[in-house]
Structure 1
């Protein structure tokens, strides 16, 4: 009996403990199901919160990458850092007023704040000349820092960027290009001392990309400021494994949006982007706004090209001779041989010019040919020719010849050297009175030019075609390779190339 009673007690305790009897199971039930009840709420809250995103992107462009000619827009580089911009972000608060004009925000809209540093270099057609050639693009370099906001949906991106920077020698274009050319064993650029001078820059840029189909979209770009004021429009055709995501921009000149990427959702595509730009102002071509320290070689007239008029000595052939001298002065960087033939025809033959080809070429090069850098083989030939006639050359001409052959690289021809070149040439082709008058005019011209910088006229309409490949991996690694073709953006002299090509690449990572 006792044993049965003991078994009953033990069974009762086990039942109570396990919840078979009593309320133990009922009181513990909420504790067990509570996590199950909260999980959907937590998932819903997490879905509404966009995780912070950070990314870096590097864009590099150079005409040397494709083996193209070194001219016009010759180099550009840009380093960017972007991060998610929350509602309290100052950049988002300011720029979103403008961006929201072109887009309808939603809960899935992304906002990315960006910072960038960049530089651009521009050169004329022939970089071996110390002077800018007739009707060519000026030397200029531009650097800036920028702050941007990108507003992006599944098929549209708006990127607005405010930049502060400067244009001129302080950007460092001369040393950067000279060092790079020495590294790759290319000709040393000679004319950077003629570049457009220092001035500060402020600009506002907006890039709009809209995709109507994953393989087709449009692009608009607006620049306002004292460096560039222009508007561009383009079509974008692409093919690949991509949805309507606008993807990253392709050029340092029009960088566009950063890497647009969702974790675990990579994409790749090939694209072609034809379009055009209408320019209102470009400081890398036209120089500073309102400056009076500029001249255009297209409009220049040297004292030597119209000396008959200055001397008030009209003759029947004055007009023809002025045209000949002007043609001799109009160096477009590609017509050296033709103009040297003119030089020999009108300033050597039929005159008292006693110099041989060695000294005459140096005079021609200093006065009419932009002080072009002389190749090593040509220097050897000129030295041999000068040595054969050394005793007959005046002392001032000897000193000029030695300096002209061995002058330092990468700098302007000193005005005094050009002045003495005129003097040595004119002493045998003009009588003393004419020569004295001409040299006085030349001295005034040299002094006036020394304080001025060459600029060019703007070409209003510019066409471009861009093509390339973009890949963004599931983990957020980005690689892009881009080809660029563009018609020239300035009014050029006849015979200069009317287009330019370069290649660029991008590397980036989303964190």
Structure 2
């Protein structure tokens, strides 16, 4: 929402500049003609097949629309305005050189200039955690403004757009998703403070759709930029009351052409669009180019995962211990119970740890479980356990327990709280010298991670299938309903979902 507030004035300004430019050219032409001479007829404006046209289109997508799991690409929205582009239109003069490489212009070729604002939000699998889980997708949000040209004939559309925007907290993904989730009664996302940091973006995108038969066509999409660089190809099968018109695009991720419509010629169709994408770069997964504020760890290990090596105190069972601690640290968002059993087995039973489940679970949650949000019923259960042992709990552990249960929603766990969690736990499993050394290592680790953002590995090949319904009435009203299925676009940890689904719709009107 914040992105739209920032980019909308730019959108309106550029639109007014283009309109005023076109008007001034028209006035100049008319001033050069003597009053006694009738003005020449502009074929482009009066030909019935090429009337002037203005249109609006809105695309909205969300995994909540279909009742699917809230993860990965979780929300996208895009608002567009398009208008006929005459020969003197600056955007047409620039972009038509590129578009005309893919089409042979004729007397029926039409041109539409477009402006759009949009935003996209991405989240990991488990939004209840303040940390991003091992091998999961980072939080990221992207906002942008575009200027485009669509060139189309009766069976082909080429849309090329120049995009300017940004990625990062300034886009407003945190507040937008928290407010939306509070409105619909969904869990509050906890990890937005870990999102990919601010960076400006620029991109050039081209979408080509060609129909060889009214029921069959192909789609190509190329993105070049410092946020995303990829190439997509797809087949389009459709059935309905439609000729070879390419029709409008369907997804906010690949919006394609706007509403292609002639007065009195409505159409409707169902479609299936399988395809794939090859990725070269994706900043919403990998972070900004050249950034020193990102880190990547294949097992999201903590100092506890190899503390024997750090302390230079090898033992015969060091390999077994490291394996146990690594399994504790490898949080994929879905294995909390299994890792808590490991924690209880190796760091509670058989040690001098005197605490019951109340404090031990909070320590486990802060150190090994990504500071996951505690449900209300669990919170009451933990409070009951803590109250039964309150007199035996040290002062620093009391403060840790109260903060951990009632900490503010929607923010990351402060490094000092994680540090105190290590301190409370380590005093019962290490001797004083080992403990002092370990806590110094933890201070350094906390400082390192607090200044960096976790990123993930890119998955080069991504498959998708889209299906839906499109209707454009005789009067130019657009309605579309779209289902999207996609394999994941990052290298996920074992056990994480390997696909994602969402539903979108689009509304529009030609004037």
Q: Note whether the superposition's TM-score is higher than 0.5.
A: yes
Matches within 5 A, 1:78-117: 78-117=78-117
Q: Deviations over 1:80-106 (max 9, x none)?
A: 000000000000000000000000000
Q: CA deviation at 1:50?
A: 2.4
Q: Over aligned residue pairs, what C-alpha RMSD do you find?
A: 1.3
Partner of residue 373, structure 1: 373
Q: CA deviation at 1:264?
A: 0.4
Partner of residue 397, structure 1: 397
Q: Give 5+ residue unaligned stretches, structure 2.
A: 1-40
Partner of residue 432, structure 1: 432
Q: Is the contact between residue 130 and residue 372 of structure 2 (CA under 8 Å) also seen in structure 1?
A: yes
Query: Is residue 297 from structure 1 mapped to residue 259 from structure 2 by the alignment?
Result: no
Partner of residue 343, structure 2: 343
Q: Deviations over 1:379-438 (max 9, x none)?
A: 000000111111111111111000000000000100000000000000111110110000
Structure 2: distance between partners of 1:249 and 1:48: 25
Q: SS of 2:305's equivalent? A: coil
Q: CA deviation at 1:46?
A: 4.2
Q: CA deviation at 1:254?
A: 0.1
* Larger CA deviation: 46-55 vs 100-109: 46-55
Partner of residue 323, structure 2: 323
Structure 2: distance between partners of 1:335 and 1:300: 14
Q: Is the contact between residue 49 and residue 108 of structure 2 (CA under 8 Å) also seen in structure 1?
A: no
Q: SS of 2:209's equivalent? A: strand
* Larger CA deviation: 41-50 vs 312-321: 41-50
Q: Give 5+ residue unaligned stretches, structure 1.
A: 1-40
Matches within 5 A, 1:227-306: 227-306=227-306
Structure 2: distance between partners of 1:405 and 1:276: 45
Structure 1: distance between partners of 2:299 and 2:381: 35
Structure 1: distance between partners of 2:45 and 2:399: 84
Kindly tell me: are residues 443 and 264 of structure 1, through their superposed partners in 2, closer, same or farther at Cα, counting changes over 3 Å?
same
Matches within 5 A, 1:35-434: 46-47=46-47, 50-434=50-434
Structure 1: distance between partners of 2:383 and 2:50: 73
Q: SS of 2:430's equivalent? A: coil
Structure 1: distance between partners of 2:56 and 2:303: 56
Kindly tell me: are residues 502 and 49 of structure 1, through their superposed partners in 2, closer, same or farther at Cα, counting changes over 3 Å?
closer
Partner of residue 502, structure 1: 502
Kindly tell me: are residues 299 and 378 of structure 1, through their superposed partners in 2, closer, same or farther at Cα, counting changes over 3 Å?
closer
Q: SS of 1:467's equivalent? A: strand
Q: Is the contact between residue 299 and residue 326 of structure 2 (CA under 8 Å) also seen in structure 1?
A: no
Q: CA deviation at 1:298?
A: 1.7
What stretches of structure 1 move > 4 A for 4+ residues in a row?
Answer: 41-46
Structure 2: distance between partners of 1:46 and 1:330: 67
Structure 2: distance between partners of 1:58 and 1:508: 6
Q: Is the contact between residue 133 and residue 297 of structure 1 (CA under 8 Å) also seen in structure 2?
A: no
Q: CA deviation at 1:300?
A: 4.1
**Larger radius of gyration, structure 1 or 2?**
1
Structure 2: distance between partners of 1:468 and 1:479: 11
* Larger CA deviation: 77-86 vs 427-436: 427-436
Partner of residue 486, structure 1: 486
Kindly tell me: are residues 433 and 506 of structure 1, through their superposed partners in 2, closer, same or farther at Cα, counting changes over 3 Å?
same
Q: Is the contact between residue 57 and residue 80 of structure 2 (CA under 8 Å) also seen in structure 1?
A: yes
Kindly tell me: are residues 42 and 104 of structure 1, through their superposed partners in 2, closer, same or farther at Cα, counting changes over 3 Å?
closer
Q: CA deviation at 1:293?
A: 1.5
Structure 1: distance between partners of 2:106 and 2:43: 20
Structure 2: distance between partners of 1:375 and 1:303: 28
Q: Is the contact between residue 231 and residue 277 of structure 1 (CA under 8 Å) also seen in structure 2?
A: yes
